[in-house]
Amino acid sequence: MKGSTYRQDVLRFWILGTCAVLLSAASAFSYLGYVGQGIVVGDLLGIRGREADVAVAQRWATYWLVASVCCLGGSSVTAALASPIDADASPLPRFLARLVLTSISSIVLTVLIGLVSFSIITASHRSAVH
């Protein structure tokens, strides 16, 4: 019986851990979408007759930012549920401690994924242009 419980814990850890990493990646790509919409808004500002396009681009930028924050929060909560840190503490302090640690690690992972993705995008753009 103990082996079955151990297997379930390991399976739960890997499934929730994978979901947390995927949500961090989604947060990074959503943030890149937010930045892209900001660039669109910056390009359209000051052009006569494009006010409606600016408003739509700003709305889409807000959607991308909200999606990024929601994915980051989901990644933090999912990783907190998967984390085996401080298993002998009472439930609420244990969850809060895990949430603080996983929030920091989710932010770091999201930034790393975003930087790598942006580097790949800019490198491929340079090689295609030249």
**Domain with 55 in it:** 2-129
Counted residue by residue, the chain has a size of 130
d(C-alpha 62, C-alpha 28), whole Å: 15
| Cβ count within 10 A of residue 123 | 10
In this predicted structure, what is the pLDDT of residue 121? 86
What is the per-residue pLDDT across 99-122, written as a single tens digit (0 to 9) for each?
A: 999 999 999 999 999 999 989 988
Q: How far apart are CA 28 and CA 71, in angstroms?
A: 9
Asked if pLDDT for residue 74 goes beyond 70, the answer is: yes
The pLDDT of residue 43 is above 70: yes
Indicate whether 87 pLDDT > 80. Answer: no
Q: What residues contact 36, with CB distance under 8 A and at least 6 apart?
A: 64
Q: pTM to 2 decimals?
A: 0.83
Number of domains in the chain: 1
Stretch 6-21: mean pLDDT:
89
31/51 Cα distance (integer angstroms): 24
- Tracing tokens 């995008």 back to the chain, one arrives at 121
Decide: 79 and 102 in contact? Cβ < 8 Å.
yes
